[in-house]
């Protein structure tokens, strides 16, 4: 089998063996692609439910290092058209890459909403990440213009240029209730996973919460299951390689094993201490790090619920084990290239956008918003595939008096459990707005 397990690792870490002087030396060059190429590539990957085949396909299309350049940033819409009452769910997560035709739809639809439901605002949630591609669990993707500054601050951690900060959870108090434990530190890890030809770095950010004290019993169980996994005889389940690592005391090479069992839904990584060649019998003093995560074949490469166990070996005091959990960050099977957008419903007094509490939703206003989206698509000849809403939302919309059965919006409203806090708008591509600037699109689409 081709080295597909390492490919899975490579999606989060560049391959190769970089020299110690430059943590960025081994970073792959990101390939510029059209958003449509990236989208159809990922759709082809998801066509198969064989986890190994998925990895082979990702490798074949080079999706791990693809990078699309023909999207716009919906964030800019708020600056360029201040009379369109859009808001952003947040300004930090960079999930607003949008195709021109989706942006046009949003401009026109808001024109109708302003007429039909004056005073209402709409909040923009996830659209697509910078550079397109699969939006993975717990992962935020940015592009960093100042590659030198990042790399100067970074260290090679387990083969990847990494900047780690330990922050007080109060730094994220705004995100309550998502970051609900304000007493423990949050580990913010930023890693570089590629460089564009014009020198921008692709940075992936993950945040980890500190786990409870690791008991003997827990540790035994961990070692036990890790041992079993890495002794597995299943074909292709395990691969070993070497990674360069610098904990501040100079670079060393560490043996890394990856275990992948897509059928069982498990991914695991085992990294050994410097100089340790054999893993077995698996003892704490031989281990540098263990990671475990769940595999979701509907969302290839998006490893869920990662737990990470750091082993610090101190000859005198023994081994200290710290456990970290990856903080939640939505992953999406669609949202690949800016043709899918999560937009809020209309709520009373514009309060509680993206809240799943149905009582906050203004049924009449939300119905008008659905109607606005449908009409805007028709006006502009943008193929609207669907407006996905939760069954509870659909039931609520059906109680709206003005929503007559003959309204064309009903044909676009599709039941989709989980879309209780937002409508997921999906369109198909159309070339009419391609190559246009944001200002041109606003002019073309404005009511």
Stretch that binds Zn ion, among 60-68, 187-195, 337-345, 403-411 (CB under 5 A): 337-345
Q: Which of 142, 245, 424, 426 binds Zn ion (CB under 5 A)?
A: 424
**Euclidean distance between CA atoms 14 and 447, whole angstroms:** 47
| C-alpha distances out from residue 70 to 5, 38, 197, 278, 346, Å | 31, 11, 15, 48, 30
Closer to Zn ion by Cβ: residue 90 or 246: 90
Applying CB under 5 A, the span of 94-102, 189-197, 221-229, 424-432 interacting with Zn ion comes to 424-432
- Give the binding range for Zn ion (CB under 5 A) out of 63-71, 134-142, 341-349, 438-446: 341-349
In terms of Cα–Cα distance, which of 242, 226, 383, 423 is closest to 311?
226
Binding window for Zn ion (CB under 5 A); candidates: 40-48, 286-294, 422-430, 434-442: 422-430
Q: Measured from the CB atom, is 342 or 362 closer to Zn ion?
A: 342
By CB under 5 A, residue 420 contacts Zn ion: no
Can you tell me whether residue 365 is helix, strand or coil?
helix
Distance CA 282, CA 231 (A): 11
State which residue, 342 or 390, has the beta carbon closest to Zn ion.
342
Interface stretch with Zn ion, choices 114-122, 176-184, 209-217, 420-428 (CB under 5 A): 420-428
- Smaller CB separation from Zn ion, 342 or 374: 342
Cross-strand partners of 310:
289, 322
By CB under 5 A, residue 157 contacts Zn ion: no
Bridge partners, residue 387, by sequence? 413, 425
Q: How far is the CB of 340 from Zn ion (least distance, A)?
A: 6
The residue from 342, 374, 390, 420 that contacts Zn ion (CB under 5 A) is: 342
- If binding means CB under 5 A, how many residues of this protein chain bind Zn ion? 2
- Part in contact with Zn ion (CB under 5 A); list of ranges 141-149, 302-310, 394-402, 416-424: 416-424
Query: Using the rule CB under 5 A, is 269 a contact of Zn ion?
Result: no
Closest CA to 9 of 242, 208, 345, 198: 242
How far does CA 104 lie from the centroid of its chain? 25
Nearer to Zn ion, 292 or 342 (CB): 342
Burial of 359 from C-beta contacts in 10 A (0-12 / 13-18 / 19+): exposed
CB of 93 to Zn ion, least distance (A): 14
Site of tokens 């041109």: 440
DSSP codes joined into one string, 386-443: EEEE-HHHHHHHHT-TT--TT-THHHHEEE-TTTTSEEEEEE---GGGTT--HHHHHH
Distance of closest approach, residue 127 Cβ to Zn ion, in angstroms: 9
Given the rule CB under 5 A, which residues bind Zn ion? Answer: 342, 424
């Amino acid at each position: 089998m081709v080295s597909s397990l390492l490919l899975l690792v490579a999606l989060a870490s560049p391959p190769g063996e970089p020299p110690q002087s430059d943590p960025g030396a081994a970073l792959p060059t990101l390939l510029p692609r059209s958003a449509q190429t990236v989208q159809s590539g990922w759709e082809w990957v998801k066509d198969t439910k064989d986890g190994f085949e998925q990895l082979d396909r990702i490798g074949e299309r080079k999706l791990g290092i693809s990078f699309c350049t023909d999207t716009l940033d919906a964030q800019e819409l708020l600056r360029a058209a201040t009379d369109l009452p859009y808001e952003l769910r947040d300004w930090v997560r960079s999930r607003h890459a949008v195709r021109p035709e989706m942006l046009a739809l949003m401009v026109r639809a808001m024109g109708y909403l302003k007429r039909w439901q004056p005073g209402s605002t709409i909040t923009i949630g996830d659209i697509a990440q910078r550079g397109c591609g699969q939006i993975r669990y717990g992962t935020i993707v940015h592009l960093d213009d100042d590659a030198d500054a990042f790399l100067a601050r970074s260290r090679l951690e387990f083969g990847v240029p990494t900047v780690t900060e330990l922050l007080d959870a109060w730094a994220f108090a705004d995100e309550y209730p998502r970051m609900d434990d304000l007493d423990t530190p949050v580990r913010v890890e930023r890693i570089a996973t590629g460089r564009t030809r014009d020198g921008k770095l692709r940075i992936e950010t993950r945040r980890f919460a500190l786990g409870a004290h690791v008991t003997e019993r827990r540790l035994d169980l961990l070692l036990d299951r890790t041992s079993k996994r890495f002794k597995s005889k299943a074909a292709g389940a395990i691969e070993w390689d070497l990674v360069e690592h610098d904990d501040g005391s100079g670079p060393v090479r560490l043996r890394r094993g990856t275990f992948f069992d897509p059928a069982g839904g498990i991914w695991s990584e085992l990294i050994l201490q410097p100089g340790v060649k054999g893993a077995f019998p698996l003892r704490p003093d031989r281990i540098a790090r263990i990671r475990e995560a769940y595999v979701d074949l509907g969302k290839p490469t998006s490893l869920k619920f990662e737990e990470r166990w750091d082993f610090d070996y101190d000859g005198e005091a023994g081994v200290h084990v710290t456990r970290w959990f990856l903080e939640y960050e939505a992953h999406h099977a669609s949202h690949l290239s800016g043709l899918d957008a999560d937009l809020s419903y209309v709520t009373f007094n514009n309060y509680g956008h993206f809240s799943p509490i149905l009582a906050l939703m203004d049924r009449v206003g939300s119905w008008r918003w659905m109607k606005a989206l449908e009409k805007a698509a028709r006006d502009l000849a943008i193929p609207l595939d669907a407006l996905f809403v939760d069954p509870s939302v659909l039931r609520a919309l059906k109680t709206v008096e003005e929503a007559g059965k003959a309204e064309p919006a009903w044909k676009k409203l599709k039941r989709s459990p989980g879309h209780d806090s937002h409508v997921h708008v999906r369109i198909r591509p159309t070339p009419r707005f391609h190559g246009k600037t944001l200002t041109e699109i606003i002019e073309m689409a404005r009511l």
